[in-house]
């Protein structure tokens, strides 16, 4: 069983998948930092000096000056600012993946030319609409004479 597992893990596609997951996690961290540290602060500034990471709805009924104090008190909150940041994060990752996949599919079209067209070996009888060989002088279905 151990040998089978080792053979499975050492196959190329499993190793490629593992590398892709690791790179994807690292890329996700970069995009998260891009959103939280570079994109959202100017957007918050444009929207009236709003810090998206501190936007929340308090469900406990008590008043808390910040999300950190509400969390420290164990209050139930809806953190919609963090959700907005996560949605922007997702949209950036999805758009970049779209660009990568579109580029690869376009490149694949250039490297894999379409197969050559198959030669035409039959034609249609104008009288009975049957398919007949190109060299036939009469239609085998309706016996009409075929013009060359």
Q: What is the pLDDT of residues 86-101, one digit of tens each?
A: 888 888 888 888 888 8
Instruction: Read off φ and ψ for residue 135, nearest 5 degrees.
Output: -85, -5
Q: Could you give the residue ranges of the DSSP H alpha helices within the chain?
A: 2-9, 12-33, 40-46, 67-72, 80-111
- CA 85, CA 54: separation in Å to the nearest integer? 11
144, HSE (Cβ side, Cα atoms, 13 Å): 14
pLDDT digits (tens, 9 = 90+) for 29-41: 888 888 888 888 8
Residue 81 makes CB contacts below 8 A (sequence gap 6+) with 51, 52, 53, 54, 55, 56, 67
pLDDT digits (tens, 9 = 90+) for 94-140: 888 888 888 888 887 777 777 788 888 999 999 899 999 989 999 99
Q: Please, what are the domains in the chain?
A: 2-114 (1.10.1200.120), 119-148 (no CATH)
Whether pTM > 0.85 for this model: the answer is: no
């Amino acid at each position: 069983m151990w040998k089978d597992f080792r053979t499975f893990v050492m196959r190329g596609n499993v190793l490629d998948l593992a590398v892709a997951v690791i790179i994807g996690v690292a890329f996700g961290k970069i995009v998260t930092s891009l959103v939280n540290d570079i994109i959202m602060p100017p957007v918050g500034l444009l929207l009236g000096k709003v810090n998206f990471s501190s936007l929340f709805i308090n469900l406990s009924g008590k008043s808390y000056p910040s999300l950190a104090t509400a969390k420290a008190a164990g209050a139930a909150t809806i953190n919609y600012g963090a959700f907005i940041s996560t949605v922007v994060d997702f949209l950036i990752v999805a758009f970049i993946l779209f660009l990568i996949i579109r580029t690869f599919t376009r490149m694949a079209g250039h490297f894999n030319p379409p197969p050559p067209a198959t030669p035409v070996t039959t034609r249609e009888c104008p009288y009975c609409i049957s398919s007949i060989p190109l060299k036939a002088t009469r239609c085998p279905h309706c016996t009409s004479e075929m013009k060359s």
